[in-house]
């Protein structure tokens, strides 16, 4: 058994064990677990013990998850936009293909917490084949995002089978994989996995770090293996109350991401998912962070701040307001320092 498989085998999934290790309320954890399962890898548990609250909040069930009556079960209308099992076709040229129902850690803020880690999320050969059939028969789709759950919890052989079948569809030009394993289970990124992945370029990977403390030596090594294989890496960070909702924390995270060759891609406003209200920040918080970043850090380190609109309406970029007036002969605006500027239309 490999290191990463041992990590999964020994993951904490029992309320009693979690209570014994961390001293949290066993009855509350059990109540939350009955609706929203939890799993914490030994790797992330040890990291969480060293760092404390910002990582604890992401991993440990909170009774507040049961007290959110304003959130939506399926905030992005993925089930409505699913023409085949576990396949979401929201944008004209892209599709989301869910190939795994499992994650190394079940993040408490997950958009798909209604289904990930539950027996009700049925993914099998039949559903995979149905998704592939839809992709073959829909020529306007040129890009596929493989997600789940986490695709990297599948075996190397299973991942390769899916990649090979996608590559056989001629109109699919780009494949993306969404995985949090470089953060929560970095030992999953093995030389064998990477050597297989490099056969299927153009291949992109978006991973998910929310706090600079998550960028450990092991995480850096995992990202280095992928980057050395020529796989461009991006990061989708979720803005979370009590985790990273301050400019110093986000700035340090973005600096560290660039150092490990991961391009900050999105800073995402938390979705309106039922059970996650205690994580959501005010939009003003995100805009203030972006204003503090733009112009003060490298443009390579500045992600797009986005909101994924409810009911499947798509991602909307949110930016600080710099424009003062848009006249017939000129544009007047403030620069990142608040200094008035003018751009003439010649």
287-345: pLDDT as tens digits: 999 999 999 999 999 999 999 999 899 999 999 999 999 998 999 999 999 999 999 99
On whether 341 is known to bind a ligand per the annotation, the reply is: no
Predicted TM-score (pTM) of this structure: 0.95
109-127: pLDDT as tens digits: 999 999 999 988 999 999 9
* Spatial contact of 165 and 158, defined as CB atoms under 8 Å apart: no
Q: What is the mean pLDDT of the chain?
A: 96
**Residue 66, number of CB atoms within 10 A of its CB:** 16
On whether 107 is known to bind a ligand per the annotation, the reply is: yes
Q: Which CATH architecture has domain 68-323?
A: Alpha-Beta Barrel (3.20)
Nearest to 262, CA basis, from 307, 194, 209, 213? 209
On whether 103 is known to bind a ligand per the annotation, the reply is: yes
Which residues on neighbouring strands pair with residue 72, listed in sequence order?
273
* Spatial contact of 318 and 305, defined as CB atoms under 8 Å apart: yes
Which residues on neighbouring strands pair with residue 177, listed in sequence order?
146, 205
173-213: pLDDT as tens digits: 999 999 999 999 999 999 999 999 999 999 999 999 999 99
In this predicted structure, the answer to whether residue 59 has a pLDDT above a threshold of 80 is yes
Where exactly are the structural domains of the chain?
A: 68-323
* Residue 1 pLDDT: 73
* Residue 69 pLDDT: 85
């Amino acid at each position: 058994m490999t290191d990463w498989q041992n990590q999964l085998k020994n993951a904490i999934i029992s309320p009693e064990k979690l209570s014994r290790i961390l001293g949290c309320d066993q009855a509350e954890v059990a109540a939350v677990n009955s609706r929203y399962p939890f799993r914490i890898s030994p790797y992330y548990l040890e990291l969480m013990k060293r760092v404390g609250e910002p990582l604890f909040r992401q991993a440990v069930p909170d009774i507040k998850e049961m007290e959110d009556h304003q959130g939506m079960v399926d905030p992005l209308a993925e089930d409505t936009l699913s023409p085949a099992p576990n396949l979401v076709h929201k944008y004209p040229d892209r599709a989301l293909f869910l190939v795994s129902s499992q994650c190394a850690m079940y993040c408490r803020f997950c958009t798909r917490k209604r289904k990930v880690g539950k027996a009700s999320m049925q993914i099998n050969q039949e559903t995979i084949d149905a998704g592939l059939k839809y992709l073959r028969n829909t020529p306007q789709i040129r890009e596929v995002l493989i997600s789940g759950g986490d695709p990297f919890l599948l075996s190397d052989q299973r991942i390769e089978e899916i990649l090979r079948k996608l590559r056989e569809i001629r109109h699919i030009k780009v494949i993306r994989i969404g995985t949090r394993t470089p953060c929560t289970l970095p030992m999953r990124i093995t030389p064998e996995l990477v050597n297989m992945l490099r056969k299927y370029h153009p291949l992109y990977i978006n991973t998910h770090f929310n706090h600079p403390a998550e960028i450990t030596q092991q995480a850096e090594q995992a990202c280095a293996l992928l980057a050395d294989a020529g796989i461009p890496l991006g990061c989708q960070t979720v803005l979370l109350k009590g985790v990273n909702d301050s400019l110093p924390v986000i700035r340090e995270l973005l600096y560290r991401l660039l150092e490990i060759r991961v391009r900050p891609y999105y800073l995402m406003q938390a979705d309106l998912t039922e059970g996650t209200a205690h994580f959501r920040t005010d939009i003003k918080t995100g805009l203030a962070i972006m204003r503090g970043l733009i112009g003060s850090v490298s443009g390579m380190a500045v992600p797009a701040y986005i909101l994924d609109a409810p009911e499947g309406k798509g991602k909307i970029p949110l930016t600080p307001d710099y424009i003062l007036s848009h006249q017939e002969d000129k544009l007047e605006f403030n620069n990142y320092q608040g200094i008035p500027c003018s751009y003439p239309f010649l």
